[in-house]
């Protein structure tokens, strides 16, 4: 068998068995909810984490009204494939662009996201004319489930850190799909993988676009004699480290222990994930203003049905145990675009990013949106991606 035959993609359609849907609903029916500390949170029921009353409402909706088959069909509207690669079966969407010479674009999600993040942004990238854009800006979009996430997971498979993820998706684009050079865009871990691609696979990259800076700069010691803008960022970083990183420590130090609870309890899984959707989105405290209830539950359900929550923690464990996104002092020289959304978890100054990315071609401060840019603001993100790569065609 030749290498090309070994890495031959096979068409894929998502279909969850009815018995698995019935099991989910039965588990939701038996949910045991905790109490909430009386009076301690004052007027903010989210002060200590996920609001019990909100999760009760969400679980009831999930059990009684959520239509998994509709969300499944929305994903299946895109061509999907699986390919044996690097010892796993890698899942990906592959949507041809509508235009004369579509640019190949690798679109990468993060945690606690999935390919469900991209349902609304993909058509805006593959067929911009349909949304009032220029057909010359079209992309052919390849959106993999990151190794160890969702449909790129099966029990017992090896775990992936960011460098290995980058190597795997680079092999998908270059070796399997035959793109000599390609573009990449990502947020969250997808931004880390995209940055790693810009460093380790620079010769294959047309350019990279980020909506989170993940490569470096989260240590106060990085900034000597900080400017006023850098001082603002350091204050933001100190608050983030003190109040918002508990999930990173448990996922990065004891991922297996947490996996028992979230693999066994769908309500527990929802409570863990929805708190991040609310805290990191531009929602004004009401998560469903930024992300629809059905799309949130589609993402959470995918983690549930695939059993991939434990393996999705691995990049956190790897980072805390020595697997760096970039070597210390490394720089990325490929053309870089950056969109800073106002409710992103951290908003570093340009001076910080330029220490790593030495070829920033586009820097945009967005008017609205948060961490989940493709979910929250697909029009704005697609516009930025098209505008950045237009100059690189």
Q: Report, at the CATH architecture level, how domain 3-390 is classified.
A: 3-Layer(aba) Sandwich (3.40)
In DSSP terms, 10 is beta-bridged to: 82
Residue 1 has pLDDT above 50, yes or no: no
Asked if 161 contacts 255 with a C-beta cutoff of 8 angstroms, the reply is: no
Average pLDDT for 12-29: 98
Query: Could you tell me what percent of the chain has a pLDDT over 70?
Result: 96
Measured CA to CA, the distance from residue 300 to residue 58 in angstroms comes to 12
Domain ranges of the chain: 3-390
Is 371 marked active-site?
Answer: yes
* Residue from 91, 201, 209, 371 carrying the catalytic annotation: 371
Q: Which residues contact 30 (CB under 8 A, 6 or more apart)?
A: none
* 230-286 pLDDT, tens digit each: 889 999 999 999 999 999 999 999 999 999 999 999 999 999 999 999 999 999 999
228: left (phi over 0), alpha (psi -120 to 50) or beta: alpha
Give residue-wise pLDDT tens across range 105-114. 999 999 999 9
CA pair distance 159, 166, nearest whole angstrom: 13
How far is 166 from 196, CA to CA, in rounded Å? 6
pLDDT at 170 over 50: yes
Nearest to 233 by CA among 328, 333, 345, 148: 345
Return all residues near 39 (Cβ < 8 A) that are at least 6 apart.
none
Top-confidence residue, 7 or 193: 193
Residue 223 is predicted with a pLDDT of: 78
d(CA 32, CA 275): 18
Instruction: Let me know if 316 is a catalytic residue.
Output: yes
What residues form DSSP beta bridges with 104? 140
Q: Are 90 and 144 in contact (CB under 8 A)?
A: yes
Three-point CA angle 386, 389, 393, nearest 5°: 120
- Rounded to the nearest angstrom, the gap between the alpha carbon of residue 216 and the centroid of all alpha carbons in its chain is 18
SS3 108: strand
Residue 140 · residue 95 · CB < 8 Å: yes
Active-site residue, from 127, 188, 282, 299? 188
Q: Report pLDDT digits (tens) over 292-319.
A: 999 999 999 999 999 999 999 999 999 9
**134 belongs to the catalytic site:** no
pTM here? 0.96
Burial (CB count <10 Å: 0-12, 13-18, 19+), residue 380: buried
Indicate which residue of 303, 316, 317, 338 is catalytic: 316
């Amino acid at each position: 068998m030749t290498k090309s035959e070994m890495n031959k993609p096979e068409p894929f359609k998502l279909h969850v068995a009815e018995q698995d849907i019935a099991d989910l609903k039965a588990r939701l029916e038996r949910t045991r909810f905790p109490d909430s500390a009386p009076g301690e949170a004052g007027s903010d029921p989210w002060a200590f984490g996920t609001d019990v009353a909100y999760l009760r409402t969400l679980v009831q909706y999930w059990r009684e009204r959520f239509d998994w088959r509709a969300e499944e069909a929305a994903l299946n509207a895109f061509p999907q494939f699986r390919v044996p690669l690097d010892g796993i079966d890698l899942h990906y969407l592959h949507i041809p662009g509508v235009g004369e010479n579509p640019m190949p674009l690798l679109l990468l999600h993060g945690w606690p996201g999935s390919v469900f993040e991209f349902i609304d942004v993909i058509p805006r990238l593959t067929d911009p004319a349909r949304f009032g854009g220029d057909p010359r800006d079209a992309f052919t979009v390849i959106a993999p489930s990151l190794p160890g996430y969702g449909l790129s997971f099966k029990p017992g498979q090896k775990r992936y850190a960011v460098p290995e993820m980058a190597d795997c998706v680079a092999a998908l684009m270059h070796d399997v799909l035959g793109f000599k050079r390609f573009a990449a865009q990502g947020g969250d871990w997808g931004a880390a993988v995209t940055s790693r691609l810009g460093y380790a696979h620079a010769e294959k990259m047309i350019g990279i676009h980020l909506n989170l800076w993940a490569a470096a700069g989260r240590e106060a010691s990085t900034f000597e004699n900080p400017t006023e803008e850098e001082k603002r960022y350091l204050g933001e970083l100190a608050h983030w480290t003190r109040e918002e990183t508990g999930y990173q420590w448990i996922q990065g130090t004891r991922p297996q222990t947490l996996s028992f609870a979230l693999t066994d309890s769908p309500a527990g899984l929802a409570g863990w994930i929805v708190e991040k959707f609310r805290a990191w989105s531009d929602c004004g405290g009401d998560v469903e203003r930024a992300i629809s209830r059905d799309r949130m539950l589609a993402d959470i359900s995918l983690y549930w049905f695939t059993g991939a929550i434990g393996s999705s923690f691995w990049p956190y464990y790897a980072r805390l145990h020595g697997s760096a996104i970039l070597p210390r002092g490394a720089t990325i020289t490929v053309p870089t675009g950056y969109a800073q959304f106002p409710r992103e978890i951290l908003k570093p100054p340009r001076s910080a990013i330029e220490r790593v990315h030495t070829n920033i071609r586009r820097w945009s401060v967005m008017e609205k949106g948060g961490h989940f840019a493709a979910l929250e603001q697909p029009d704005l993100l697609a516009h930025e991606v098209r505008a950045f790569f237009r100059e690189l065609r």
